[in-house]
Structure 1
Amino acid sequence: MDSRLPCTFADTVARIAADKSSVPGGLVPALHSVQEALGWIPPEAVPIIAGAFNRSRAEVHGVVSFYHDFRTTPPAQHRLGICSAEACQSMGADRVLSEAERILGCQMHEQTADGSMSLEPVYCLGQCAVAPALTVDERLWVRVTPERIAEILDQTRQETL
């Protein structure tokens, strides 16, 4: 096969699985690599990975579904990560989360119906002195209030246009 030709997702998954299958404990690193390459772990990848690791599809699916870090749907365009650590909780992160859920129409570990934003927990952004903190993609926001979350989300939408 000409290495200049684009690979199908199945080729990518098979290559990653083959590279990691001889490594002790390589299943989880393989899943991380697949998600990094594709943005998610499609259901069609599970049998390919299972075959490379001599595991059942149920075993691989069990690992994927056990860890919240693995996505089984395509990622949203933007990721809103709200700090759920103790300092941010004590400073009102739960109220910020409630307002974000209301505005976005989705719960933690979900994404908006249009796929524009996912809502994920983050555990300590190192901003305890200026809590509550959150990230939108890689951008950090501190001293976030329920009133300010709407502004942050509006700004993200405007920057995307």
Structure 2
Amino acid sequence: MPDESLHLPLVQRVLEREKDAPGALLPILHAIQDGAGYIPDVAVPEIAHALNLSLAEVRGVISFYHDFRTTPPARHTLRLCRAESCQSLGAESLAAQLRDHLQLDDHGTSADGRISLRPVYCLGACACSPALELDGRVHARVTPERLQALLEGCLEDGSC
């Protein structure tokens, strides 16, 4: 586990810049996550103090929004579309393949920390279903074989 205190200078810079803005909590959380890759636990009391909020209020916002992470991100992020078009063309079997291969549920990170799996409810590629996004790149008309090749690329040499 990384030393989270290394992120305190980032947290303090963000707080100085954003703390007086109306509705500052969300922009602060986004800026910290953008800089650190996640919201380190050491940031929570700093944020609470700067905004005159309780620790529970800050943690509640972090846990409410699924895009905030409280642990360092995986090396690769795979977002599988679970909207109706993708579901009707095989996304559920792809999801089962992912769960089985990576040994995790729909929201999780592989034990080796290489791949994080997250469902998403539309990638805007409905005409090319089923679709997924791997490290920001959309892959359309994904077959089980193509999914396997993508996973192997990430797990073997780290490139996807």
In the superposition, the TM-score normalised over structure 2's length comes to: 0.90
Partner of 2:64: 66
| 1:109 CA drift (Å) | 1.7
Runs (4 or more) in structure 1 with deviation over 3 Å come to: none
Q: What is the distance in 2 between the residues matched to 1:15 and 1:55?
A: 19
The CA distance in 1 between the partners of 2:12 and 2:90, in whole Å, is: 45
* C-alpha separation in 1, matches of 2:124 and 2:76: 21
Shift of 1:71: 0.2
- For residues 94 and 29 of structure 1, the distance between their equivalents in structure 2, rounded to whole angstroms, comes to 34
For residue 76 of structure 1, what is the aligned residue in structure 2? 74
Per-residue displacement from partner, 1:26-74 (whole Å, max 9, x unpaired)?
1011101000000000111100111111101111011101110000010
Amino acid corresponding to residue 76 of structure 2 in structure 1: H
Kindly state the Cα deviation for residue 11 of structure 1 after the two structures are TM-superposed.
Answer: 1.5
CA contact (8 A) 2:74 2:115 kept: yes
Question: How far does residue 80 in structure 1 lie from its aligned partner after superposition?
Answer: 0.6
Percent same amino acid at aligned positions? Answer: 48
Match of 1:25 among 1, 23, 26: 23
How many matched pairs?
155
Q: Output the CA distance in 1 between the equivalents of 2:34 and 2:123.
A: 22
Q: Give the structure 2 partner of residue 120 of structure 1.
A: 118
CA RMSD between the two structures: 1.6
Q: Are 1:42 and 2:7 matched, yes or no? A: no
Question: Gaps (5+ residues) in structure 2?
Answer: none
Q: 1:89 aligns with which of 82, 87, 90?
A: 87
Note if contact 2:18-2:28 (Cα within 8 Å) is conserved in structure 1.
yes
The residue aligned with 1:134 is 132
Match of 2:142 in 1: 144
Moved more, 29-38 or 105-114: 105-114
TM-score normalised by structure 1 residue count: 0.90
Could you list the per-position Cα deviations for residues 80-120 of structure 1 after superposition, in whole angstroms to 9, with x for gaps in the alignment? 11011221112111111110111011112210011000001
State the Cα distance separating 1:158 from its structure 2 match.
4.1
What residue identity is the alignment partner of 1:145?
A: T
